[in-house]
Structure 1
């Protein structure tokens, strides 16, 4: 089991990043909430990881803190929720919002996340309620400065599609934003907020 990685961030194409650890590049899938906290390319990054082995793939998922990783682990224990959906949930809302949705039984907010239907949202509320009693919401980490991206709108649109939104939805969401002078991370964040409202 790979529990933690520390190395140089060499690629960042949401939701996947590549971390160079001693000359070995690890592909890591990260939720958008973690992506927002990553440093600029070429800087050192440390991630807590969860390794998933399947018949057809081996994937490494990365998180900014142990609480986010624990939430991911709790999510994938829910019947019908796999790693891809857990990543979408953690990308679509921060941990505090997810905890609030579960505690308040707010399935309406959960179904706005791509791939989460009404039955899955209800199951999440029921099955996660007990698990979240012991789960602590971490104090927010300050966002690190991020480099400007030449074609931020296209990168943001591609990231939304990778998270499960239809290309037309992603295109409309980005087109509705003021893109001038904004990086892809900021555009993704704004688009997700607007789509989940």
Structure 2
């Protein structure tokens, strides 16, 4: 509905700014990364996402179109609302988020306020294939590629972690396996042999 706004910043009160556009002041919630990119400039252009709920209509703003795209991917995940998505983008920049999903780094994602370990794992599971297909406009943010394209590798990694292995240990053990047709059980068995 409202895709982009250009105007003068009247107030900054993180995470909210008041942006005057044509004599109208819009209250817009922005991730902290957008606040840092704004610097001291008075006039800015924001890519926006208009979110409507039963009891509220909220406008979210982003300096880059890539941030808006990732925000929309995040809120598509069941259980992740706009406020949590905003917290994720405030905690991690685009490259860090893409890297965390590609490397299945649920520990880094779980450091975001409002995200627990299970939610982080769910985010990774749902976002991994979607972010691999995603084409971002800025060349500095490369597309993510899966190091192990076996769909069972995440389950095997979680099983190894429940056995007491650290995330990086489990990833290292699984990365040595090149056969992409193995079941979860076969992956775990081979990973334990590789240790």
| TM-score by shorter chain over 0.5 | yes
Q: Match for residue 20 of structure 1?
A: 20
What's 2:30 paired with?
30
C-alpha distance in structure 1 between counterparts of 2:50 and 2:83, whole Å: 13
Q: Which has the higher contact order (CA 8 A, sep 6+)?
A: 1
Report the equivalent of 2:40: 40
> C-alpha displacement at 1:40, in angstroms?
2.5
1:130 aligns with 129
Could you tell me how far apart the structure 2 residues matched to 1:2 and 1:127 are? 27
Measured after TM superposition, the shift of residue 130 of structure 1 is 1.1
* Count of matched residue pairs: 139
Matches within 5 A, 1:163-178: none
**Structure 1 position 10 matched with structure 2 position 10:** yes
1:136 Cα offset (Å)? 3.9
**RMSD of aligned C-alpha atoms?**
1.3
Equivalent pair of 1:39/1:45 in contact (CA under 8 Å): no
Aligned pair 1:108/2:107, yes or no? yes
Give the direction of change, closer, same or farther, for the CA distance of 1:104–1:49 in structure 2 (3 Å limit). same
Give the ranges of 4+ consecutive aligned residues of structure 1 lying more than 2 Å apart after TM superposition. Answer: 134-140
Displacement after TM superposition at 1:58 (Å):
0.5
Counterpart for residue 77 of structure 1: 76
Residues in 1 aligned to 2:2 and 2:76: alpha-carbon distance in whole angstroms? 19
- TM-score of the aligned structures, taking structure 1 as reference length: 0.68
Give the C-alpha shift of residue 107 in structure 1. Answer: 0.2
TM-score, normalisation: structure 2? 0.69
Report the 3-state secondary structure (helix = DSSP H, G, I; strand = E; otherwise coil) of the residue aligned with 1:125.
Answer: helix
Q: Which residue pairs with 2:120 in the alignment? A: 121
Q: Answer whether contact 1:67 1:135 (CA < 8 A) is retained.
A: no
Residue 134 of structure 2: SS of its match in structure 1? coil
Residue in structure 1 matched with residue 98 of structure 2 by the alignment: 99
CA–CA distance in structure 2, aligned partners of residues 139 and 27 of structure 1:
31
Any unmatched runs of 5+ in structure 2? 141-195
- Shift in CA distance, 139/19, structure 1 to aligned 2, threshold 3 Å: farther
